[in-house]
Structure 1
Amino acid sequence: MNHVKALIMKFIMILVVLSIILTGIYDVEFSDTLLISVVLTVVAYVLGDLMIFRKTGDRTANTHTADHSNAADHKKRNTMATIGDIVTSFLVIWLMGQALFANTEDIIAASLISALVIGGGEWFFHKYLDKNVFPEKDGHAATGNTRH
């Protein structure tokens, strides 16, 4: 259930960003923005959040340095996953834009701006994931119970 909530949050974030930038500024049809948002949400969650963010990092830290290690580990994982999300967002928006949009002359700029704004949101989204979806990465048991 935590993954479903995370996917919905990610989708809403991406849809808002792309609606403002693609539809609002670059006059892309909302149906195209919606389709790109759905595809990007799934691809970025699997690649950026499940494969990079969750799988990266050292989980063998000693208990007396666990707090410092967890903070450093989170920053490293967050940085790597955010960069991955920016690249993934740019590629998905650019490639889908090439296929879907009638006017593609501004697609690179629109893709880059969108990817950077989404990357900013992803930085904070990863903090949510650590606390609520991947508690084992935050130093808590992976029981699904998010109470501390």
Structure 2
Amino acid sequence: MKHVKALAIKIIVSLILLYLILGGMYGMSFGNVLFITIVLGMVSYTIGDLLILPRTNNLVASLADFGLALMVIWLMSSVFPNNGNGFLMSLIASLGVALFESIYHKYISKNVINNSQSIYNYTGNLRYQTEASEELTPQRAEYKNEDKEK
């Protein structure tokens, strides 16, 4: 249930944000913005929030979401008719998405991802132990006795 709530928050806020940028500034229709938002939300939640964020930090996950959003918005908007430069439009929209994602990752880290059970957490206090012995290579007992007699 946590994932459904988190994904719903992501899609709703992304839809509002992308409609303001893509629809308001560049005249893209609501249906096209909705389709881009749903695809981007599913892909970025799976890759950015569930795979990258638990293994790294907020900055790395936000940069990954920026690149992912730029690719998805640029590729999908190139299929739809629009009034303007497709790359510039995608760049501005992905910057907005990355800013939202940096705030959203704090929510995800606190409420969805259970960091106490993660195997990827770095404790910062690794303690290594070494063993030492008298000899570098083991010798049989009969050879040890010969060495002692000499």
Q: TM-score range by the shorter chain?
A: 0.7 to 0.9
Q: Which has the larger radius of gyration?
A: 2
Structure 1 gaps, min length 5: 58-76, 143-148
Runs of 4 or more consecutive aligned structure 1 residues displaced over 3 Å after TM superposition? none
Q: Give the length in aligned residue pairs.
A: 118
Letter in 2 for 1:32: N
Residue 100 of structure 2 is matched in structure 1 by 121
Aligned AA (1:5): K
Bigger proportion of residues as helix = 1
TM-score after normalising by structure 2 = 0.74
> Quick check: 1:78 aligned with 2:61?
no
Aligned Cα RMSD in Å? 1.4
User: Residues 115-135 of structure 1: CA distance to partner in whole angstroms, max 9, x if unpaired?
Assistant: 111101101111001110012
- Tell whether the 8 Å contact from 2:26 to 2:82 is kept in structure 1 after alignment: no
Deviations 1:98-148 (A, max 9, x none): 112x2364211111011111101101111001110012x2xx468xxxxxx
1:18 paired residue number: 18
1:109 counterpart = 2:88: yes
TM-score computed with the length of structure 1 as normaliser: 0.75
Return the match for 2:71 from 59, 72, 91: 91
CA distance in 2, matches of 1:104, 1:87: 23
What are the ranges of 5 or more consecutive residues in structure 2 without an aligned counterpart? 119-150
